[in-house]
Structure 1
Amino acid sequence: MTNFELQDMVTEFRSASGVPGVVAGVYHAGEREVVAEGVTNVVTGEPMRADTGFLFGSVTKVFTTTLVMRQVERGRIDLDERVIAYLPEFRLAVPGAEDIRIRHLLSHTNGIDADLYFPDVNGPEALRVAVAGMAEQVGTLFAPGEYISYSNGGMIVAGRVLEVVAGLPYHELLQRDLFTPAGMNDAVTSAERAILRSTAVGHFADPVGARRTDLFKLPDSWGPAGSSAIGSVGDLLAFGRLHLSGGVAPNGTRVLSEDSAARMRTVTYSMGTPHLPPIGLGWLLMPFGDITVLSHSGASPGGVAVLMAVPGHDLVFAAYGNDARAMALFDRILLSLLRNRLGVTVPDLIAAPIEVEDLTPYTGTYRSNQMRVDVCVEDGVLAETATYEPADETQRRIVTAFAGGNVPVISRRFVPVGKDLFAPAGLPLEKFTGYSRQQLVSYHGIQNGKARYRSASGRMTRRG
């Protein structure tokens, strides 16, 4: 893929989709390409630039893990130690907190049911308040180490552990111990800093065109999970290169030991399900044919960022779109890089739909924090209805703003494509070969003819 081809892909997609702005960058074998198109904000019309800043969203989770590994190297944190050894006050609303280890926080195997837990707190006390509130508002989905379920709550707890052992607020630690030594020169941790330079804001698709978000960022209480870190494509490329170079940043600074970088990209848990990639520490280890891509995406209010790095090929891809629909473009670019730049044979993940005589093991009601999913059989396929059930008005206000003004009841139909595996009906199966494989749904723990868990977008809901 030449720079011209990357430019063509971005231009064609924006023209067809109406996404306001995109910035995408590729580093490969010593050469870097960055393409920026459109605007940062449909209200101001400011152009998107190669160095425009944007919210990294959940890509921050890999930053948080990197910070933890730095403390492991210093002997201040033991991955196998229980969280309560560092946070004696850590409790959940149900028993189980005492069994969660540090590695469970970083591998999304902790079972903390806090995906939509949004304490409305900002400032240096935000993480302390958020973790304290878990004792009353947050339960568990499963025992630590039993399954993978993408965990915002786990990363919030990891951030608070960092604050306690390092003696600094999370955002200061992120700037001092990662952004500065890694040469992430555009990266900041506050809207007040970001507004001093070109910074993109999110948008939502609207019948008359893209509509700017009214919420720039989530509260600081989600800092380690992805609410606050802001920077450029160049920052993400530098961070990805650091991890491909055994912990050495492009500026020559060693940020992590070679062993720590290797541990982060080594499988710690796999559920053996096609749409759920094996997990390392922080990184999702997504297989594409014979290679593994270190990956993470990051949603922000009306925006989406991605970071992907390919070990052994010295390739990093990073991008941001200020409309979530840009994820389809990023999937397309990734597959083109693998197939056309690296010559990788990427097989289709799903061959064809299959016949399943009895779908009743999957039917029923599944729940997680403030979310209910009802599953039934209609016309020989599974039909799902997902309903948001806010805990209180504060939660409703934040989630509604994050979603762009409303949280609709979502109804979808799914066809079986593998053992306990389903794909959205009506979509071409090749769509799920890339990063979009996470749109598949799987069921787990079938006992007495009924599944115990449903997994979608890497998140578990539990029967009951």
Structure 2
Amino acid sequence: MDFGQLDAALDAVHRAGVPGVFAEVRAGDQVWRGAAGVADTGTGRPVSAGMRHRVGSVTKTFTAAAVLRQVERGRIGLDTPIGHYLPKLVPGERGRVITVRMLIDHTSGLAEYLPYAYPSLKAFPDLAATRPDSLDEHRFTRFDPVELIAMGVGAPAVGPPGVYSNTNYLLLGQLLGHVTGGRAEECITRDVIDRAGLRDTTFPAGTHVEEPHSKLYESWFGMIDPPRDYSVFDMSWVGPAASLISTVSDLNRFYELLLAGEIVSPASLAEMRRTVRIVSQEGKLIDYGLGLHPVESTEFWGHGGTVWGGGTLAAARADGTRQFAIAVNAQRWNRLDESGRPQPHPIDGALAALQRLAMSCDTVTNR
């Protein structure tokens, strides 16, 4: 498999309707990088494979790894109730029942806070009854994570089975701050990002992404037409759950080292790869570990992520022979059918084909 096939698959994603897409595939010491389309639909500025990107919930793997590092130091117990550490944030019986592990693998039963923080999304998961108005209303809102957690904790419990919820990871951020005496972002940077030697991975200091980066075009299921740029945004609405900025190269390095047992210990990595069944944000049953999940099969492990206008998927083969990371500068391009469900779109098939090729190619040629 040569790089021409990967180039063609990448171009197909762009032709299907994504303004810009970029990716990197590694196989041993060989690397392919590609980009297709534009970073700015107004100026025609092209995307490049080295662009920095908001990677969304890929952040969760970093946060989970930081928690496991504290477990290794004896500061956190995986099966200790969260109420032991944060009794004011998760009070009463739930604080005594919900463990740290249950936060990391989304089996806590704590609801997603987002529909409460963004009023126009209150009807979620009934997509047809939502509106994107709150995205503009909260573009520059500085959210207090404790207030967001209170929304999730105060909402009716969800599951079983476990249900994917950002409330869990905001709580993990507070837990890291509690046991280290600093901000969660500082702990994650020191124990995970710096440990992995990632040069272009940071938490946002403000509302902008440092250059070079792409604009991010959100459609909200056809309700924003034409798609609107949300690359300038205050990411306090997700914090340690989904606010990280990175590159496809850094993500490949991170997952390669993580799956090799060089970020957390082999014992911790084994815990991360113990999966349970949960319901994803898309309403699908998936296998999920501790901030990590199998991608297509248990040969590859990684995480996907979305923000307003952007998406990312990164994974590594467990034997260390291959890694891939794909980034797009559009999101929620599917329109809804009469029942309110997202309709299939050519982008979905093109992305799936690119992912399959990235996972299966035996040889890649340096560009």
- The equivalences for 1:433-452 within 5 A come to none
Kindly indicate whether residue 135 of structure 2 is the aligned counterpart of residue 127 of structure 1. Answer: no
Q: 2:266 aligns with which of 258, 261, 265?
A: 258
Q: 2:157 aligns with which of 140, 150, 168?
A: 140
Taking every aligned residue pair, what percent have the same amino acid on both sides?
28
- The equivalences for 1:257-296 within 5 A come to 257-267=265-275, 269-270=276-277, 276-288=285-297, 291-296=298-303
2:182 counterpart residue number: 168
2:48 counterpart residue number: 49
Query: In the alignment, residue 292 of structure 2 is paired with which amino acid?
Result: W
Q: What's the CA shift string for 1:123-174, capped at 9, x where partnerless?
A: 6x83334334555x433114xxx42211211111111111111111122223
Kindly indicate whether residue 257 of structure 2 is the aligned counterpart of residue 242 of structure 1. Answer: yes
Q: 1:220 to 1:327 in 2, by over 3 A?
A: farther
Give the Cα separation in 2 of the matches to 1:207 and 1:80.
Answer: 43
Give the TM-score normalised by the residue count of structure 1: 0.63
Q: 1:112 aligns with which of 110, 114, 117?
A: 110
1:334 counterpart residue number: 355
Distance apart, 1:67 and its partner CA: 0.7
Q: 1:195 to 1:13 in 2, by over 3 A?
A: closer
Distance apart, 1:327 and its partner CA: 5.1
The DSSP-based 3-state class of the residue aligned with 1:318 is: strand
Kindly indicate whether residue 236 of structure 2 is the aligned counterpart of residue 220 of structure 1. Answer: yes
- The equivalences for 1:40-439 within 5 A come to 40-91=39-90, 96-116=94-114, 117-118=116-117, 126-134=144-152, 137-142=154-159, 146-190=160-204, 192=206, 195-205=209-219, 211-214=227-230, 216-217=232-233, 219-226=235-242, 228-247=243-262, 255-267=263-275, 269-270=276-277, 276-288=285-297, 291-312=298-319, 314-324=321-331, 325=333, 328-341=349-362
**Is the CA contact 1:43–1:212 (under 8 Å) kept in the aligned structure 2?**
no
More strand by share: 1
Distance apart, 1:185 and its partner CA: 0.6
Q: What's the CA shift string for 1:351-389, capped at 9, x where partnerless?
A: xxxxxxxxxxxxxxxxxxxxxxxxxxxxxxxxxxxxxxx
Distance apart, 1:79 and its partner CA: 0.2
Task: After superposing the two structures, state which structure 1 stretch, 188-197 or 54-63, moved more.
Answer: 188-197
Give the Cα separation in 1 of the matches to 2:224 and 2:156.
Answer: 41
Give the Cα separation in 2 of the matches to 1:180 and 1:122.
Answer: 29
Give the Cα separation in 1 of the matches to 2:166 and 2:109.
Answer: 11
Distance apart, 1:285 and its partner CA: 2.3
Distance apart, 1:65 and its partner CA: 0.3
**Is the CA contact 2:52–2:200 (under 8 Å) kept in the aligned structure 1?**
yes
The DSSP-based 3-state class of the residue aligned with 2:21 is: strand
Query: In the alignment, residue 317 of structure 1 is paired with which amino acid?
Result: F
Q: Which runs of 5+ in 1 are unaligned?
A: 248-254, 343-464
- The equivalences for 1:18-29 within 5 A come to 18-29=17-28
Distance apart, 1:313 and its partner CA: 5.2
Q: What's the CA shift string for 1:81-107, capped at 9, x where partnerless?
A: 000111121237x95343100000011
Give the Cα separation in 2 of the matches to 1:207 and 1:259.
Answer: 46
> What is the CA RMSD across the aligned residues, in angstroms?
3.0
Distance apart, 1:217 and its partner CA: 3.7
Q: Which runs of 5+ in 2 are unaligned?
A: 119-137, 334-346
Query: In the alignment, residue 163 of structure 1 is paired with which amino acid?
Result: G
Q: How many residues align?
A: 324
Give the Cα separation in 2 of the matches to 1:201 and 1:111.
Answer: 35
Give the Cα separation in 1 of the matches to 2:103 and 2:177.
Answer: 15
2:7 counterpart residue number: 7
Give the Cα separation in 2 of the matches to 1:210 and 1:10.
Answer: 23
2:338 counterpart residue number: none
**Is the CA contact 2:112–2:167 (under 8 Å) kept in the aligned structure 1?**
yes
Give the Cα separation in 1 of the matches to 2:210 and 2:82.
Answer: 38
Distance apart, 1:231 and its partner CA: 1.3
Query: In the alignment, residue 256 of structure 2 is paired with which amino acid?
Result: R
Q: What's the CA shift string for 1:301-335, capped at 9, x where partnerless?
A: 11111012221252111111011255543321222
The DSSP-based 3-state class of the residue aligned with 1:140 is: coil
**Is the CA contact 2:207–2:235 (under 8 Å) kept in the aligned structure 1?**
no
Give the Cα separation in 2 of the matches to 1:24 and 1:199.
Answer: 14
